[in-house]
Amino acid sequence: MNINILKQSEYDEKVAEIALIQIKNKPNSLLGFATGNTTVGFHKELAEKIMDNHVSVGDLSTVNLDEYIGVPSTNPASCYYRMHDQFFTRLNLRKEQIIFLKDISEREDFKQICSQFEDKIAEKGGIDVQFLGIGLNGHIGFNEPGTAFGTTTHVIELDEKTRESKAHVFGGIHRVPKRGITMGIKTIMKAKKIILLAKGENKAEIVYKALYGPVTPELPASVLQLHPNLTVILDEGTSLKA
């Protein structure tokens, strides 16, 4: 495990530089992204760096962790809309370059969708670098407390803490979906490299527990202790504490 603590003013730029180096070294990389407040600046900074440095992304592929069920990609609260706004549209990525669980209604064949998502990742040779955020309850993706470590892509009932944290995005908790679809923990752990990102004092306690506490499904992010190539990037506000 490699832990880096960055100044808030340089955080997004430094993380973007890591992703840029990966793209330069392996133009056909499959990069895994997460949507959330922590990664907004990083996504925008990476797009700017790619354009400023005239880096070709014609062979690049991306995959995102999760999405809400019943929320169309045209909804500004959807994970896809946010990622499209922050990154995809800035680089004019083609449809076939983007692997995303989007526009999924309650009437879908979830088993088939999950299987196809896993197949698309495998066809690209697996995820080269997966960027992760962490929820206040320790979730990664939408893998909530109690999710088995052996899960692949699946449908999940969203924890109330997760729904409460997204209330401001949807305009009230009553509008936040109760279910999501997410890359499973087993799938995440297959990534060749994982970079866990966290900002702010409110994440300090859960990050500490995830990295130094017991490895347990009750704290999904704790499984990252078992990954052979884990980098953790924190800002100054996320000083690790018990």
User: Any catalytic annotation for residue 12?
Assistant: no
55 close to 24: Cβ distance less than 8 angstroms: yes
Report d(CA 189, CA 58) in Å as an integer: 27
Tokens at 161, concatenated:
């803490």
Using the Cα atoms of residue 81, residue 42, residue 227 and residue 144 in order, give the sign of their dihedral. Answer: negative
* Residue 34: φ, ψ to 5°: -125, 145
Catalytic residue among 12, 43, 67, 139: 139
Catalytic residue among 66, 67, 159, 235: 66
131 close to 33: Cβ distance less than 8 angstroms: yes
Tokens at 110, concatenated:
């979830």
Catalytic residue among 45, 67, 128, 144: 144
User: Any catalytic annotation for residue 92?
Assistant: no
User: Any catalytic annotation for residue 143?
Assistant: no
User: Any catalytic annotation for residue 229?
Assistant: no
Catalytic residue among 48, 85, 137, 236: 137
* Residue 116: φ, ψ to 5°: -65, -40
Active-site positions?
66, 137, 139, 144
